[in-house]
Amino acid sequence: MKIILKSGDAMELAENSTAMQAAQSISEGLARNAVCAKVNGALVDLSHELKEGDSLEIVTLKDKEGLQVYRHTCAHVLAQALKTVYPTCKLSIGPVIENGFYYDIDFVTPITQADLAKVETEMQKIIKSNLPIERFTLPKAEAIELMKGYSENYKVELIEELPEGETISFYKQGAFTDLCRGPHLPSTGKIKAFKLTSIAGAYWRGDEHNKMLTRIYGTAFAKKDEMEAYFTMLEEAKKRDHTKLGKELKLFAIMNEGKGLPFFLPNGMVLKNALIDYWREIHTREGYVEVQTPIMLNRTLWETSGHWFHYRDNMYTTKVDEEDFAIKPMNCPGGILVYKNEPHSYKDLPIRMGELGLVHRHEKSGQLHGLFRVRCFTQDDAHIFMTREQIKDEIKGVVRLINEVYTLFGFKYHVELSTRPENSMGSDEDWEVATESLRNALNDLGLDYVVNEGDGAFYGPKIDFHLEDSIGRTWQCGTIQLDFQLPQRFEMEYVGEDGAKHRPIMVHRVAFGSIERFIGILIEHFAGKFPVWLSPVQVKILPITDRQLDYANELCKKMKEAGVRVQVDDRSEKIGYKIREAQMEKVPYMLVVGEKEAEAGQVAVRRRDKGDMGAVSADEFIAAVCKDIADKTVF
């Protein structure tokens, strides 16, 4: 029979050959590294039998799917080890998550973090045994009986909810059998590096009315050195924790009186306003106009936009004059009303409309985290209203703008194109045109991207930008969403060149995303050592004795007049102490002034990460720091 490889080449194989046999025919090296296979676009085990005309791709640990399968197999090894060490425990679910996996378990007697060591020891035994992992299927009724025989009531519940007539798959390794759709590694011995990391509580199926189970987290990597690098990164991340640094640097606070509602302190407002000033500068340059829309609008608006039906659980509502209102979770409907406030012709388009809008979304208390997951935040929103002919150029313009922003902060990034989700509005034709418009813009710009099937917004496909920070973590921030639906729902119009009325196309886009979250990312990216232009205090003047205070204050006044954020440390402390304090505050420049500097009109410059830079004239330093600020230098 013939199968089609990823390259497009045809390959001859014996009838009913498996994916593993195909890998062996290609090369022994590929067969050794194979984790699973992708047949006709679906992930399958290496034991899967191929048919005439199948398309085949062998998946290794270099592939994202391969690492997921590897980690999911490790979750099954964890489950087997738990059933060995704690025979009375009951299994629920064990999915893969970013950087690892977890398994939710119902224990008769609760376990602690200290108990994970003996579980890991048992896992090592299972891996060393190199148990073959075999898939088998059963009809629904038999599958239920099998799990009842093992007293796995959570598995029984999952199977009972599956459609009648469905065939249920299981995986067996040694004496252990688990319900799973797969695929898995061919044997347990393929796992080379793993670690159980933590324990937490988790309600069965995420419902607080259900029983609290024990969630055991773990991670697994292809090589031990990769796992060591991962844990090194986690240690570095702890040092950079924005909630810790935010408190130390007096940037923001989360109060019990408003959980998930951040308070920005004076230093934090300087940082936030510097970002906003930059945002306004580049958007003015790019032809955007700025608007502000109300924080609360009536139910009719949200019904028209679709949010009342598609996003209701995340919205805060109230009544005004006996009428239902919602606090806005998004800015777009308000922007549409601004557009509709006056008639437009094709000559007005594109209209690029920006808004720094405060939005509120109901997040569960357990999901709140510093500035990363909050209940209110400022979106650096913009909406572009345009003709169909303008789509590609406008999308390309937004991509270039977002690239400029991320490059300024030293971020690398990758791009995802997210397509139509199940819960969506609009016709197949509109979705196809919208998706292809985004795809064509990315292709024209020569950007590499991956397709994220089914992850678009309910009103349109989108391009997402995932930043990589200084320690290798990724964050989803910028997004560009192409929307054919809201212009139709709101009956938006413009008069075309032909004198007839036409429907504009709408783009929703953000660069920072949430300004609050972006600040959290910047805190961790720079470890609190912000570039000069962002630093709440850019220069600290440190007089050695009180006799230099007059000179220090004169310098301070001169720098403030030049637009520098500067402070004088006039405390009667030793100079070494003052320097250490300024270092702890992560001030970019420290100017030590003693009798010699005061007489010569100089400053002894210390830079945050480079120490003593020598003495220069005060005017020379002021010119240099002003250039750093103007150039938005990152060091």
Q: Annotated catalytic residue: which of 462, 502, 540, 586?
A: 462
Helix %, strand %, coil % for the chain, to 5? 40, 30, 30
Question: Which of the following is catalytic: 68, 80, 173, 379?
Answer: 379
Interior angle at CA 419, CA 417 and CA 421, nearest 5 = 145
One-letter amino acid identity for 375?
R
Coil vs helix vs strand at 314: helix
* Contact criterion met (CB below 8 Å) for 296 and 315: no
Query: Is 241 one of the annotated active-site residues of the chain?
Result: no
361 noted as active-site residue: yes
Q: Give the H/E segment covering residue 77.
A: helix 64-85
Q: Which of 381, 430, 469, 483 is catalytic?
A: 381
Q: 381, 380, 376: which is closest to 263 by C-alpha?
A: 376
The reply to whether 383 belongs to the active site is yes
Strands 412-418 and 474-483, bridge-based pairing:
unpaired
Residue 277 dihedral angles phi and psi, to the nearest 5°: -60, -40
Q: How long, in residues, is the chain?
A: 635
Q: Is 11 helix (H, G, I), strand (E, B) or coil?
A: strand
Report whether the peptide linkage leading into residue 95 is cis, meaning its omega lies within 30 degrees of zero. Answer: no
Q: How many CB atoms lie within 10 A of CB 114?
A: 8
3-class DSSP state of 561: helix
Residue of 272, 361, 509, 608 marked catalytic: 361
414 assigned to active site = no
Residues near 455 by Cβ (< 8 Å), separated by ≥ 6?
416, 418, 419, 421
The question of whether 205 is a catalytic residue gets the answer: no
State how far the Cα of 368 lies from the Cα of 46, in Å rounded to an integer.
Answer: 41
Q: Judge whether 381 counts as a catalytic residue.
A: yes
Spatial separation of the C-alpha atoms in residues 585 and 608, rounded to whole Å: 10
Q: Please state, in angstroms and as integers, the Cα–Cα distance from residue 387 to each residue in 344, 417, 484, following that order.
A: 12, 22, 11
Q: Which of these is catalytic: 215, 383, 473, 540?
A: 383
Is 128 an annotated catalytic residue? no
Question: Which of 36, 332, 477, 556 does the annotation list as catalytic?
Answer: 332
Positions marked catalytic: 332, 361, 379, 381, 383, 462, 508
